[in-house]
Amino acid sequence: MSQLKNDRYLRALQCLPVDYTPIWMMRQAGRYLSEYRQLRAKAGDFMTLCQTPELACEATLQPIARYKLDAAIIFSDILTIPDAMGLGLHFEAGEGPKFTKSITCMSDIEKLPIPDPNQSLNYVMEAIRLTQKELNGKVPLIGFSGSPWTLATYMIEGGSSKAFTKIKKMLYSEPKALHRLLEKLADSVALYLNAQIEAGAQSIMIFDTWGGVLSHQSYQTFSLHYMQLILSKLKRGHKTSDITSYVPVTLFTKGGGLWFDSIANTGCDAIGVDWTVNLSSIASKGKIAVQGNLDPSVLYADKLTIESNVSTILNEFGAYSGHIFNLGHGIHQDIPVEHVQYLIDAVHQKSKRFHHD
């Protein structure tokens, strides 16, 4: 791997000094970019785009070519593992992800294989290797997975859900079955993320998109516990003067701001927070990195409003190390591209006064 030219993102994840707050955006490679829409049309369908390393690499690099972002994130989907388990992932227009087979009982769970990431998921590793070569040290590359709980919601519901009744029914009526599924998923995710690290991912993010739908106790038992299990199995390396010798891990539970302290105790390096969290209320700033947390809808606003919202977030976080600026969730597909430029410029310019690198 070539020498890193911009290591601000990795430094911020370790709460080390930087000269300005680094920024990247969830779903930064996506439909708001005209070049992505062209690539998607060329691929023919979303799964082909994900599973063709050259196309996934191109999608990953598109926002990096357009903007001065401080990190790239590999273009993929959180549902690659359930697909590799044989559930048949497909995407229906306007309806999001669907599975041909869903999980209903213990016998379904027992039949699920633990995928070998260098076999059925090798297209992701190939995309990471290719992207690292193309990036040539410009910015770090982030690898990721969905959390066991979030993957389980899609596998049991058969796709997206609003009420999560099927998985909650299993949680309360067949908890042993759900724990068995979550164990298998935790093992699969740990193998998958270690393979990503080996392929060249310099940071890892676990997306717990649906952790926030759980009760306080259920979150600890059915979501956080399994993310902690994954953390204990990851080959993160060691912190040395070479910033790239260690692979930091970010946990992001959408709607999980109430559990900030519990998440911090897992041993993760950074916590992603959504826009419901006031950054000035975080007591452990400077000890654990924080990623977030602009409401993506702010990007519909004019330049002055975007800049004002950036200032508010930077002021809330204050002059601590360890802030990675991001959206509180993925960017919307109809955001004007120049508004993203306003955001990035505002973060880079306005954050300098908080840093003395």
Interatomic CA distance for residues 186 and 183, integer angstroms: 5
220 is in an annotated binding site: no
Interatomic CA distance for residues 12 and 243, integer angstroms: 11
Q: Report CA-CA distances (Å) from 303 to 300, 313, 318, 344.
A: 9, 16, 22, 11
Identify the bridge partners of residue 324 per DSSP, sorted by sequence position: 291
28 is in an annotated binding site: yes
Interatomic CA distance for residues 77 and 144, integer angstroms: 9
154 is in an annotated binding site: yes
List the catalytic residues. Answer: 27, 31, 40, 77, 154
In one-letter notation, the amino acid at residue 122 is N
Q: Are 324 and 20 in contact (CB under 8 A)?
A: no
Q: Are 164 and 198 in contact (CB under 8 A)?
A: no
323 is in an annotated binding site: no
Residue 246 DSSP one-character state: B
In one-letter notation, the amino acid at residue 270 is A
Give 219's Cβ-side CA count (13 Å radius): 19
29 is in an annotated binding site: yes
Interatomic CA distance for residues 124 and 196, integer angstroms: 8
Give the DSSP H or E segment for 198: helix 175-199
319 is in an annotated binding site: no
329 is in an annotated binding site: yes
The runs of H, that is alpha helices, within 14-105 are 34-43, 46-51, 53-66, 80-82
Binding residues for substrate are: 27-31, 77, 154, 209, 329
